[in-house]
Amino acid sequence: MILWLKVLSKHLRLLARYWVITFKEFSSFTWDVWLSVIQFVLYIGRSIVFWWAVSRIGVFGGWTLPELSFFAAISFLPGLHELFWNFWNRASFSDKVLRGDLDKYLARPVHPLFAIAAEDVHLAMFLKYFAPPLVMAICLVRGYHLPVTMGRFLVGYLLLSTGKLVLTMMRAASSMLAFKYGDVTGLQLLLFQFTALGRYPVDAFPSTLKFLLTYVLPAGFTATFPAMVMLGKAAGLEVFGVAAVLAFLWAFIVLRLWAVMVSSYESFGG
Amino acid sequence: MRTASGENVVVVENLVKDYTVPLPPKPGFGQRLRRVFAPEKGIKRALKGINLTVPRGQVLGFVGPNGAGKTTTIKILTGIIAPTAGNVSVLGFNPHRQRYEYTYHIGLVFGQRSLLWYDIPVIDSLKLYAEVYEVSREAFRRRLTRFAEILGIDEFLHVPVKKLSLGQRMRAEIAASLLHDPEVLFLDEPTLGLDAVAKEEIRLFLTETNKERGTTIFLTTHNMGDIEALCDRVVIIDEGTIIYDGTTEDLRNLEHEKHIDVEFLPVPGSSPLATGEAVAKSLALIQQYGVDSSQLATGRGTEARGHSLLPRKVRLRVPQEQSLEVVSLLLALGTVRDLNVAPPSLDAIIRRIYKGGLGDIVA
């Protein structure tokens, strides 16, 4: 128990140190950061315009225009875990395996997956992606008097984070195949192209597709169900239970795959 | 569980490592098409059952031509890759299976790869490593002072790594790898691409670290200067097999020859002391032992010495027991401007070993 606490405390201290490092890296590229914030706000705006155009045709799958706009805004919120790691989404893990870049992580007394992930810890980047959709969502709630309470919002956000964590773990698991099969970026694109459907309310899809996007490739947990919970259209606890089970299952699979696959790591010649 | 292994900090038994490699395509369109869907792969054996022990405190030079298996060995010893077969124990740990506990006790420097963060000052990388290895603040300060004194890292502690020269970066890398005072230090080509001054500084620091701290050093290099300056012992590996294992001095003694370089003044006529017989004997020696005696045959770069031709510069490789006699004959042959008698360099010896020139002598 004491050993575990010691390990945990060490990793928390490391996390703090990584934050300092990434903040320093971040602050040396300020101009780029502001440009990307503007680009991101425009991107969310484009999504809202899209739903405005759709709602002119009629009510979409039971969602009104203000609800769809709210849904569009929160679909851009990053999950809590993205504060800690973002590298799977950049598909760089298989690159690291292929280029032999895991050497420095494997030669240190810290779990390599933690080290790789923590290197991407980025409080400032997280805020950059968190603030614009949050501000938009608040404006929509105020402007259209949407029935979103603080409690519902927090439960919904927890659900969204868990849903995004599941997809991250699935991506991580597929990245482990790089140890055996080399570059898996193409395979990942193929497997995860359907996660883009999470940008649409999945409850409006046919039941088979809805099932697949809930339990198999759970993109529904990244926006639809959280938005429904926040708007009071669904009960939070039940949906959250499914997402939590999936997150634990996939985290277990990732750790098992890592333990097996790392023995196949061939590094890189001198 | 850490197992005791006496005073040998590294124990390697029958170490084998296989890599999977793509096979070259067979001719024909059908074969090429098949390869797209099911590429053919083969096994390349990088290490063919090597055995090695390294006692505590030794500085071992691990050398070999490109592709010999040096980096593979060092990566297995550091736990980065798993062996295909055989036993490896470093400080009583199985490096691959007990990586977490094991890596607290070792340091690692790759000449071709940086352990530091590119965009941030060196000090931030060092602070991070202090957290990784759980180095106390007091120990961190003390070691930083030592690195500043010997490696001069204080000059660039607050400079981002990307703005450092290669020599400065390598000094920072070595500081980072020694921050936790490891028992064994693995260095993979640490002086690669460095200028003479930087090489010297790093060698001095490593020598002091070995002497003061008793750190065992396992060094792979192509630079024989590193071996001569640092290593007590040399292990030569070629095609995955250890072909020599002995002290640096023994390696030098493998070659029972001396290199003699002589330059004559362009003055006609031989030395007044030289007899006709001595001149003839000297010329015969040049023919026999000259590294490049073609000059004598062609007459280029030579001068008339009576009825014979004598080169202005001669390099001879002479059996050790004959070297004195040859020198005295050369001195009698003409007026000498410069004379140098030296044992062959380690570089030359190892080059000959790679080419199989000392095949019957080595292990």
Q: In sequence order, what DSSP letters do the residues of B74-133 get, joined into one string? A: HHHHTTSS--SEEEEEETTB-TTTTHHHHTTSEEEEETTB--S-TTSBHHHHHHHHHHHT
Residue B119: which of A14, A25, A265 has the nearest Cβ?
A25
**Nearest-angstrom CA–CA distance, A127 and A269:** 40
Q: Structural domain boundaries of chain B? A: 8-16+47-253, 257-342
- The CATH code for residues B8-16+47-253 is 3.40.50.300
ipTM over 0.85? The verdict is no
**Chain B, nearest residue to A180 by Cα:** B20
Residue A17: which of B72, B131, B133 has the nearest Cβ?
B131
Shortest Cα distance from B119 to chain A (angstroms)?
Answer: 6
Residue B128: which of A10, A17, A266 has the nearest Cβ?
A17
Q: Which of A33, A266, A267 has the most B C-beta neighbours within 10 Å, making it the best mutation to test the interface with B?
A: A266
Give chain A positions within 8 Å (CB) of B184. none
Burial class (CB within 10 angstroms; exposed 0-12, middle 13-18, buried 19+) of B23:
exposed
Q: Do B124 and A270 touch (CB under 8 A)?
A: no
Residue A198 carries which DSSP code?
Answer: G
Q: Which of residues 163-202 of B touch A (CB under 8 A)?
A: 188-189
Q: Do A102 and B80 touch (CB under 8 A)?
A: yes
Residue A263: which of B67, B72, B82 has the nearest Cβ?
B82
Does A223 fall in a domain? yes
Nearest residue to A218 via CA among A204, A202, A234, A233: A202
Does A11 fall in a domain? yes
Q: Which of B125, B131, B186 has the most A C-beta neighbours within 10 Å, making it the best mutation to test the interface with A?
A: B131
- The CATH code for residues B257-342 is 3.30.70
Give me the amino acid identity at B172: A
Give chain B positions within 8 Å (CB) of A3. none
Give me the amino acid identity at B52: L
**Chain B, nearest residue to A259 by Cα:** B97
Q: Which of A103, A105, A179 has the most B C-beta neighbours within 10 Å, making it the best mutation to test the interface with B?
A: A103
**Chain A, nearest residue to B118 by Cα:** A25
Q: How many domains does chain A divide into?
A: 1
Shortest Cα distance from B92 to chain A (angstroms)?
Answer: 16
Per-residue confidence (pLDDT) for residue B225, from 0 to 100: 86
The separation between CA B307 and the C-alpha centre of its own chain, rounded to angstroms, equals 47
Contact (Cβ atoms closer than 8 angstroms) between residue B261 and residue B313? yes
Q: Which of residues 75-114 of B touch A (CB under 8 A)?
A: 75, 78-82, 96, 99-101, 103-104, 106, 108, 110, 112-113
Q: Per-residue confidence of chain A (270 residues) as pLDDT tens digits? A: 677 888 888 888 888 888 787 777 767 667 777 777 787 778 777 777 777 776 666 667 788 888 988 998 898 888 888 776 554 445 477 778 888 888 888 988 988 888 887 777 667 677 778 888 888 899 889 988 999 999 999 999 999 999 988 988 898 888 888 888 877 878 888 888 888 888 888 888 888 888 888 888 888 998 999 999 999 988 777 788 888 999 999 999 999 999 999 888 887 665
Contact (Cβ atoms closer than 8 angstroms) between residue A180 and residue A264? yes
Assess B220–A contact: CB distance below 8 Å, yes or no: yes
- What strands lie across the sheet with B41-55, from one edge to the other? B41-55, B8-22, B85-90
Shortest Cα distance from A238 to chain B (angstroms)?
Answer: 39
Nearest residue to B222 via CA among B47, B345, B70: B70
Residue A84: give the domain boundaries: 2-264
Q: Which of B19, B76, B81 has the most A C-beta neighbours within 10 Å, making it the best mutation to test the interface with A?
A: B81
Q: Answer positive or negative: Cα dihedral of A116, A119, A123, A126.
A: negative
Q: Give every residue of chain B whose pLDDT is below 70, as ranges.
A: 1-6, 35-37, 266-279, 291-311, 357-363
Q: Do B133 and A109 touch (CB under 8 A)?
A: yes
Q: Do A24 and B124 touch (CB under 8 A)?
A: yes
Instruction: Name the packing angle between helices B122-132 and A2-27 (round to 10°).
Output: 170
In the numeric block, the tokens 């933690």 are attached to A114
**Chain A, nearest residue to B80 by Cα:** A106
Q: How far is CA A6 from CA A107, A234, B135, in A?
A: 20, 41, 14
**Nearest-angstrom CA–CA distance, B51 and A81:** 46
Coil, strand or helix at A60: strand
Q: Do A266 and B80 touch (CB under 8 A)?
A: no
Q: Do B106 and A10 touch (CB under 8 A)?
A: no
Q: Do A270 and B66 touch (CB under 8 A)?
A: yes
Shortest Cα distance from B356 to chain A (angstroms)?
Answer: 23
Give chain A positions within 8 Å (CB) of B132. 14, 108-110
Q: Do B117 and A269 touch (CB under 8 A)?
A: no
Per-residue confidence (pLDDT) for residue B278, from 0 to 100: 67
Per-residue confidence (pLDDT) for residue B85, from 0 to 100: 95
